[in-house]
Amino acid sequence: MATNEMMERVHAKITSVLLPTDTSSNAPPPTSFVSLMLPGETVIPEDFDLADDNGRSNLFKRMEVVPTFNKRYADSGNTVSGMFSRILGATVPADDPVKKAEKQKEFNAAQETLEKYSELYDEKQDDYNEAFFAYLEAKEEKESKVTISKLQTAMDKAKKAWEGAGRKREVENALAIVSRFMAYTPVSIFAEAQNRFEREKDEYAVEGALPVLCIPQSWATEQDNISWARVSISQSSEVARVHKSTEVINSGWGGGFFFASHASSSTQINDKASESLELDDFEMSFEIARITLNRSWFNGGLMTIPGVTMDNTKKGGFSAGSLEKAGSAPNSFLPTAIILARDIRASVTLSKEAAEVFASKLSSQSNTRVGIGPFSINRSTAINRKSSSSTSSNNAETFEFEIGNGMQIIGVISSILPEFPMTDYTASKGKKLRDYGKNELSVLPTSMLKTFSKTDTASQPRHSRIRGKGGKR
C-alpha cells in the first residue's frame, strides 16, 4: 500500500472520531477540518507551563499560527491576531439610533433569559454531548445491540432534558435576538472589540503573542484529566466514512510518512517530504484527544454584522464562509483545537530492501526526523525488528514500535469562519473606527459584553468529553 493512501486512512479515522458528522449525501457539510503534522512533536510539560513566562510564550506563539488549507499541517504565514486586526480595520456603518431604541426592550428581555438559564443550558448540552459520543463510539466498536440500544435511549433522554429543563428553545431564541441586535449597534460593538483587543494585548501578551485559554487548561502537566479515545487502524480495516465535502481539502502528504520534518511554511511543504517506503502491512493503535482553544479577544461576531466592508475586497473575499470555498479566501478558518496522542503502538511490515533503508534512518544522527505518519519516533521508543512473511514478499521484515505514555501534538483542528465581508466594497456606507468621533464610540455595558461573548462562541465546537477522567468511559 502506498504511504499516501495510508495517510488518507489515518486522516479519515481521526476526523471521524474527533469531528463526527452525518456522512449522507444530503447532509450539510462540516464546519471544521483536521490538519496532521508529519511527524508530530513530543510534549515536554514544562515547555507549556502557564506559571512560567517561557511556558506561556511557547503556548501563545504556537496557538497564533494559522495552518494552510491542507490535510498536512503547514504554517500559512498568517497569525490569528493579524487576522483579527484586519477585521477591526473594516469600514463600519453608523448606528441607527431609532432602530436601536426599538430593539432595546426586546434585547433586555433576551438578556434576562440568558442570565437565568445559560448555565443550565450548558450543563444539559454537555450531558447530551457525552451521551451522543458514547452512543457513536459503541456503534463504531460494533458493541452488542442491547448496549447500543441502551446508549441510544440514554442519548434520547439527555436530548429531551436539554430541550426541557435546559430551556434549549428559549436560550437559542434569546441568542438569536442578541445576534440581531448587533445589526443596530455595529459601531459600539466594533469599538468595544477594539478596546478589549488592545487591553489584552497590553496586559497579557507575552513577547507579542496574545493569550489563549486551553480547555482543559492543565493539559500539558495533567494528561489524565484529558478525555481520551482509543483508535485502531490497519491496512485491512474499513476506511472511516467522512463527509464528501472534505475532498476539497488539499492532501499534500508528499513522501513524509516515514521520514520528514513537519513543514514550517506552505512553501516548504513539498521540500520537507523526503523518502517514502511501500508498506506490505500496517497496524496502529493509540489514544487521541482534542484540546479546545478559546480566545476571549477574538470576537467572530463582528464578521456577521451586515453592511461592514473591507477596502478593495469583494463579498466573501476575506473569509469564504464554507468548507467548499475555504481555499479561495486566505482567512477562511481559525485554529480552534490541537490534537494530542499518547500510548502509541504501531507495526509496519516492509520488504527486506525497504527495511534496511528504514533501519538506517532510525539509527542515523542526521537532522531528519523519523516518524510513523503523524507520530514521532524518539530515543525512548521501544523498537522490535523481526523477520516476517507478507502477502507481497516472502522476504519481509516487521518493525514494532511502542512510543509509551508521553504525549505528542499531532495536528490541529480549524473551524470555518463566517463569510466576510457580507457586502462588496463598492456598496460601502460607513467609516473606519478611527474616523468616528468619541461620542459615537459608546462602549457597551459589561452585561451586554458577556452576552455577545456567548453569541460569538455558540457556533464554535464545544469541548467533547469522549471519555471520562483517566481515559475510562
Q: In sequence order, what are the beta bridge partners of 364?
A: none
CA angle 97/313/177 to nearest 5° reads 35
End-to-end, the C-alpha distance of the chain in Å comes to 34
Nine cell digits for residue 71: 490535510
Q: CB 273: neighbour CB atoms within 10 A?
A: 21
Report the relative pairing of strands 75-79 and 371-372 from DSSP bridges. unpaired
pLDDT computed for residue 202 by the predictor: 92
Q: Residue 119 in 3-state DSSP?
A: helix
pLDDT computed for residue 266 by the predictor: 40
Q: In sequence order, what are the beta bridge partners of 92?
A: 431
Q: Residue 331 in 3-state DSSP?
A: coil
Q: Which residues contact 391 (CB under 8 A, 6 or more apart)?
A: 280, 281
pLDDT computed for residue 132 by the predictor: 92
Give yes or no for a contact between 10 and 302, defined as CB atoms under 8 angstroms apart: no
b/e map of 162-188 (b: 16 or more CB within 10 Å)? Answer: beeebbbeebeebbebbbebbbbbbbb
Give yes or no for a contact between 158 and 117, defined as CB atoms under 8 angstroms apart: no
Backbone φ and ψ of 340, nearest 5°: -110, 155
Give yes or no for a contact between 336 and 293, defined as CB atoms under 8 angstroms apart: yes
User: What's the whole-model pTM score?
Assistant: 0.73
3-state DSSP helix/strand/coil % of the chain, to nearest 5: 40, 20, 35
CA angle 344/349/352 to nearest 5° reads 135
Report the relative pairing of strands 333-351 and 229-234 from DSSP bridges. unpaired
Which stretch of DSSP H or E encloses residue 375? Answer: strand 375-376
Tell which residue, 313, 318, 327, has the closest CA to residue 300.
318
Give yes or no for a contact between 268 and 252, defined as CB atoms under 8 angstroms apart: no
Could you tell me the residue ranges of all domains in the chain? Answer: 3-85+209-433
Which stretch of DSSP H or E encloses residue 115? Answer: helix 97-140
Tell which residue, 435, 418, 421, 434, has the closest CA to residue 309.
421
* CA-only gyration radius of the chain, Å: 24
Tell which residue, 355, 82, 370, has the closest CA to residue 201.
82
Backbone φ and ψ of 66, nearest 5°: -100, 120
**Helices (H) then strands (E): counts for the chain:** 9, 12
Backbone φ and ψ of 407, nearest 5°: -85, 150
- C-alpha 94/C-alpha 97 separation (Å) is 9
pLDDT computed for residue 230 by the predictor: 93
Q: Residue 142 in 3-state DSSP?
A: coil
CA angle 9/11/17 to nearest 5° reads 100
pLDDT computed for residue 460 by the predictor: 37
Q: CB 100: neighbour CB atoms within 10 A?
A: 15
The per-residue DSSP string of 266-295 comes to: GGGTTTTB------SEEEEEEEEEEEEEE-
Residues of the chain predicted below pLDDT 70: 1-2, 23, 25, 97, 100, 182-184, 243-245, 248, 252, 254-279, 364-369, 379, 388-394, 405, 427-428, 438-473
Report the relative pairing of strands 408-416 and 32-42 from DSSP bridges. antiparallel
Q: Which residues contact 457 (CB under 8 A, 6 or more apart)?
A: 294
